Amino acid sequence: MEAGSENLLPSSPTYIFLAPAHHGGLGGIYGADEWCMRKVPADLKGSPYYSYKALLADGINRRASVTGNAGDGQINWVLQASTV
């Protein structure tokens, strides 16, 4: 790495997994987050990084961006800029 460059890798591992299908009545963003936490693969449970969120947005409790491709106005968004 060159002097003055930043390390863009996250300080903790990043995992993405797919939860089983659901009928859709999750109870909003936080209900979807809870569904994800209950469906974490066994080999990831108990790790020090055991916190997962649903990749969903409702524009109120979780928002990805106000302006397309700008990343502005994010609220509780699950993906962070400059991470793997």
User: What DSSP string runs through 47-72?
Assistant: STT-----S---SSS-BS-SSTTT-T
Write down the pLDDT at residue 47: 67
CB of 15 closer than 8 Å to CB of 43: no
- For residue 38 the two structure tokens come to 């209950």
Write down the pLDDT at residue 1: 41
Write down the pLDDT at residue 11: 59
**From first to last of its 84 residues, what are the pLDDT tens digits of the chain?**
444 445 554 556 677 778 778 888 899 999 999 988 888 888 777 766 677 888 888 889 999 888 877 778 889 888 876 554
- For residue 15 the two structure tokens come to 């995992």
Nearest-5° Cα angle at 53, 7 to 26: 165
* Single pTM value for the model: 0.66
- Distance between CA atoms of 43 and 80, rounded to whole angstroms? 24
- For residue 24 the two structure tokens come to 């859709």
